[in-house]
Chain A
């Protein structure tokens, strides 16, 4: 375990479902990130939270909705997803925003059917 825990590990959902991905870190980091990893593409930054405030939203569709209730927890709420949203969703945390690299979770493999 890296210190960043993501649940669930796998998720299959229909296009009309609502689900949430959870990320938890107990490393004392103050920044948390959501990345999307699709096959043969670079990791795509979705959202950045620093000190519990959203500081980055990279033109992500509104069907993805992040929530950061405290510095240790990060959620990604999903609703009415499309098949092209199927991917590995990785959560990461860092002590300072981008300065020293990230600690990643193991990811949630999402399949939209």
Chain B
């Protein structure tokens, strides 16, 4: 059974801090790993990673995948209160559906 584990479950930081969110996975016939941001209801897509060692970047957010160690990290630099959300990691494999982790609840205080 495919499995995705995220850590930490929750994190409280102050504006300007840098945070690193972790995601480990066990997926049969791995195809991709995805990060989503969920603020109120609809998760919104952040990144899709398929290759090891290639950093994807969007503004202050970046993510990288390690297919050997089966994990990914999501970095957010110079955090802002608008970054407060649940960050979801998901992976797809031979099951062809996405398997999600429990998410990391990030709270950025002013």
By a beta-carbon cutoff of 8 Å, the part of chain A in contact with chain B is: 2, 4, 33, 40-43, 45, 48, 56, 88, 90, 97-107, 109
Task: Tell which of B9, B40, B97, B103 touches A98, judged by Cβ atoms closer than 8 Å.
Answer: B97
Chain B: interface size category: 20 to 34
- Residues of chain A with a CB closer than 8 A to B90's CB: 43, 101
Known A42-B100, A42-B103, A43-B100; judge A98-B31 contact (CB<8 A): yes
- Residues of chain A with a CB closer than 8 A to B101's CB: 42
The answer, yes or no, to whether B16 is at the interface (CB within 8 Å) is no
10 CB < 8 A contacts A-B:
A2-B42, A42-B101, A43-B88, A45-B97, A48-B97, A98-B97, A100-B32, A100-B48, A102-B45, A106-B41
The answer, yes or no, to whether B53 is at the interface (CB within 8 Å) is no
